[in-house]
Amino acid sequence: MTGDRLILADPEAARRRAGETFKAWRSKYSPRLPAAAEITHVGATSIPGALTKGDLDIALRVAAGDFQAARRLLDETHVQNRKSVRDETFAAFELEGFFIPVGVQLVVGGSRLDVFDQFKAALMDDPGLLAEYNAMKRRFDGQPMTAYRLCKAAFIKAVLSR
């Protein structure tokens, strides 16, 4: 079985493309989202020096009272990520054909899964931690995505518990 690629040859070009895609996504969808929604570019393409597969990850933080309205919009315009948790405080979505693949993590601010900005900040603030993350990606590059996701989840949990 062939595995999934986690690393592009030119991560800086991927970062630029993701930045352009983020701006376009935000421009298209933010007018339809609750006014207080916080839209953040997270994931490897948002972190200088991080290895990336070249997709865009967006954290969409909303108040509990705005969660259902935001979820309805994303249910209408995106595809539910069925590999992810979905409850009253979190829902993940995917969007293909929008320059590059886009993942949107809709989360209620302050809930247990509101960790995307915290994880990003940890990697940006600690070059050693970023090196560990990149080494993990190298180890799993070309391997089945399920194995990588399990290891990545454990890594994130360890980082956030520090």
Query: What is the edge-to-edge ordering of all strands in the sheet holding 90-95?
Result: 38-42, 56-62, 102-108, 90-95, 79-80
Least confident stretch, 6-15, 31-40, 72-81: 6-15
Could you give the CA distance from residue 29 to residue 97 in angstroms, rounded to a whole number?
Answer: 15
**Would the pLDDT of 39 be above 60?**
yes
Least confident stretch, 7-11, 19-23, 43-47: 7-11
Q: Look up tokens 């693949």; give the residue.
A: 101
With respect to CATH, is domain 11-160 assigned 3.30.460.10?
Answer: yes
* Mean pLDDT across the chain: 94
Q: How much is the average pLDDT of 58-71?
A: 98
Q: What is the pLDDT of residue 3?
A: 62
SS3 content of the chain, % helix, strand, coil (to 5): 50, 15, 35
CA trace torsion 114, 73, 68, 62 (10° rounding): 30
Residue range 14-38, pLDDT digits in tens: 999 999 999 999 999 999 999 999 9
Residue range 102-151, pLDDT digits in tens: 999 999 999 999 999 999 999 999 999 999 999 999 999 999 889 999 99
Residue 5 confidence class, pLDDT cut points 50, 70, 90: confident
Q: Look up tokens 């070009």; give the residue.
A: 13
Q: Look up tokens 């949107």; give the residue.
A: 104
Could you give the CA distance from residue 35 to residue 137 in angstroms, rounded to a whole number?
Answer: 36
